[in-house]
Amino acid sequence: MENTPTNRILEIHSKQREFFSTGATLDIKFRKQMLKNFLAAVEKWEERISEALWTDLHKSYEEAYLTEISIVKSEIRSHIKNVCKWARRHKACSPLKLFPSRSYVVKEPLGCSLIVSPWNYPVQLLLNPLVGAISAGCTAVLKPSPYVPNVSKVIEEMIKETFDEKYVAVVQGNRVVNTALLEQRWDLIFFTGSPDLGKKVMNAAAKYLTPVILELGGKSPCIIDKDADIKRTAKRLAWGKTLNSGQTCIAPDYILIHEAVKDAFVKEFAKAIKELHGEDIKADRHYVRMVNDKAFERVSGYLKEGDIIYGGRTDAQERFIEPTIIENVALDSPVMTEEIFGPIFPMITIRPNVSPCHPEQSEGSFEQQVIDFVTSREKPLAFYYFGKESKGWEMVRRTSSGGGCINDVIMHIANENVPFGGVGNSGMGRYHDKESFEAFSHTRSIIATGNLIDLPFRYMPYNMFSLVKKIL
């Protein structure tokens, strides 16, 4: 796909600045109508979007709908229903010292926004932030990933048909285009991608002190305790690791497992994979491929960094990698320090009183070893625990992550009523539902004071200071 010329980027940016300055987007009726137009467009283009997802990622219609299209539609519907309430001016309590003033909280759009998305969920991760931009009253430039050219093309066509480019526009291209975009002055940058690229976005934003929402990634741990329901745990992890073939920012990345249940888990995991994808997983239309040859080479290279105890088959021509569990991995190896973004599970067996980091040393309980292991690394985007719920809550309390699940994986992103976002190296800022509206809004405090009464105590030379001091 050809890069959008720099002069076109400048033209679109200028048009959106000019349009926002007219105040047209401040009208709530306008925002609701745009959201309705957006929903109608997604429904109209659903089939073409699904076809493009199949072409680029081998993503089945069912998975495309469940993990991409339905999430966007649900988000739009919620904003249509609630935007009036969210955007309304709210009265706040005023203390006695401000009498006779009235206090208000006002929501205003930040302005012109830039939304940059990755390739793994190229519809959801591009269009969901756009919902927030529209409902908050912002303009938006969308930058999809060049690694999914068919999806990016379809989305561009849909956006062109639905919106004027002075309001919402799509810009295509590689990192050269990203650089040109980041050189412009934005009122908000919403970026989804790797931590390394997130740092570059933040550096560029610093020039103008532009606020950023960074949805990044990281190595999300999965803890399997001795009292976990192993059959159900294996099924849910098999699903979570093969969803989009592991190319999910909140996919379970590696396993910390109690030695008492290791063998049983591996056995049940193998059964679960067959239940989900059949005897020949390569032939299953629901099994997604690596996005490109580079991704295939990177992920398949991890297979050499441990002992394969399940899976391991690959096909470079089809960019196919079988779901695989490896063990005996070095803790400082790439498979344990880089986000895998593929269907490979490094598994570390935890033996009570034997540290995986320092086996020669006597350490504490399973719980303490897990906590020490997780907290010694960058904060992940997700944290998953399988076992007694009470233990899970203690693990959650003593670790930090963007979000997570107890006795499940990934499903926290499916609830639009809770915020989604990272922490530390896994990102900053939140979105989904009202949080998306908030992400693209500025919260403004306004005090309105009448003129009939003017209390003298605030004025110099503070003759009433002794009395005021007693009151305050």
Residue 430 DSSP symbol: E
All CATH 3.40.605.10 domain ranges of the chain, comma separated, are: 6-216+426-446
Q: Taking residues 290-304, what's their average pLDDT?
A: 97
Q: pLDDT digit string (tens) for 430-443? A: 999 999 999 999 99
Instruction: Identify the residue whose tokens are 């719980």.
Output: 367
pLDDT, position 39: 98
pLDDT at residue 357 in the model: 59
> Is 408:384 a contact under the CB 8 Å cutoff?
yes
pLDDT at site 164: 98
User: What was the pLDDT predicted at 459?
Assistant: 87
The helix (run of H) or strand (run of E) holding residue 108 is: strand 102-109
* Cα first-last separation, the chain: 65
Average pLDDT over residues 371-388: 96
**pLDDT at position 448, please?**
95
pLDDT for res 356: 65
**Residue 346 CB neighbour total at 10 angstroms:** 23
Using CA atoms, how far apart are residues 357 and 416, in angstroms rounded to an integer? 38
Q: Which residues pair with 109 in a beta bridge?
A: 441
Catalytic positions, please? Answer: 215, 249
What is the rounded distance in angstroms from the CA atom of residue 374 to the CA atom of residue 354?
16
* For the chain, percent of residues with pLDDT exceeding 70: 98
CB within 8 Å of 85: residues ≥ 6 apart = none
Q: Determine the 3-state secondary structure of 237 from DSSP.
A: helix
Does position 360 have pLDDT exceeding 60, yes or no? no
Kindly state the average pLDDT of the residues 303-318. Answer: 97
Long-range contacts of 153-162 (CB under 8 A, 24+ apart): 153/1, 153/52, 154/45, 154/48, 154/49, 154/52, 155/49, 155/122, 155/123, 155/126, 155/127, 157/45, 158/41, 158/42, 158/44, 158/45, 158/48, 158/49, 161/41, 162/37, 162/38, 162/41
Q: Report CA 65 to chain centroid distance, whole Å.
A: 18
Check residue 305 and give its pLDDT: 97
Placement of tokens 């991409």 in the chain: 68
Q: What does the pLDDT read at residue 298?
A: 97
Q: What is the pLDDT of residue 464?
A: 81
Does pLDDT of 416 surpass 70? yes
Q: How far is CA 13 from CA 64, 165, 171, in A?
A: 32, 9, 11
> For domain 221-419, is the CATH number 2.60.40.420?
no
pLDDT at position 48:
98
For residues 459 and 188, which has the higher predicted lDDT (pLDDT)? 188
Average pLDDT rounded to a whole number, residues 136-157:
98
Q: In 3-state terms, what secondary structure has residue 68? A: helix
Q: d(Cα 77, Cα 109) in Å, to the nearest integer?
A: 20
| pLDDT tens digits along 1-39 | 799 999 999 999 999 999 999 999 999 999 999 999 999
Taking residues 87-104, what's their average pLDDT?
92
411: pLDDT strictly greater than 60: yes
The pLDDT of residue 467: 81
Segment 249-275, tens digit of pLDDT = 999 999 999 999 999 999 999 999 999
Q: What is the pLDDT of residue 169?
A: 98
Supply the pLDDT for residue 375. Answer: 96
pLDDT in the model for residue 458: 83
Query: For 190-206, what is the mean pLDDT?
Result: 95
45-77 pLDDT tens trace: 999 999 999 999 999 999 999 999 999 999 999
Query: What stretch(es) of the chain map to CATH 3.40.309.10?
Result: 221-419
φ/ψ of residue 189, rounded to 5? -115, 125
| Per-residue confidence band for 157, with pLDDT thresholds at 50, 70 and 90 | very high
Whether 321 has a pLDDT exceeding 70, the answer reads yes
CATH superfamily to which 6-216+426-446 belongs: Aldehyde Dehydrogenase; Chain A, domain 1 (3.40.605.10)
Question: pLDDT band at 363, cuts 50/70/90?
Answer: low
Answer whether 0.85 is exceeded by the pTM.
Answer: yes
Cβ contacts of 130 within 8 Å, gap of 6 or more: 38, 115, 140, 142, 168
Whole-number Å distance between alpha carbons of 263 and 127: 42
Residue 417 is predicted with a pLDDT of: 86
Q: Share the mean pLDDT of the chain.
A: 95
For 181, phi and psi rounded to 5 degrees? Answer: -65, -45
Confidence bin at 466 (pLDDT 50/70/90): confident
> In Å, what is the CA distance from 31 to each residue of 36, 133, 355, 439?
9, 10, 56, 16
What are the C-alpha distances in Å from 165 to residues 132, 140, 171, 417, 436?
Answer: 18, 9, 10, 31, 22
Which of 272, 292, 282 is closest to 345 using CA atoms?
A: 272
Strands 382-386 and 420-421: unpaired
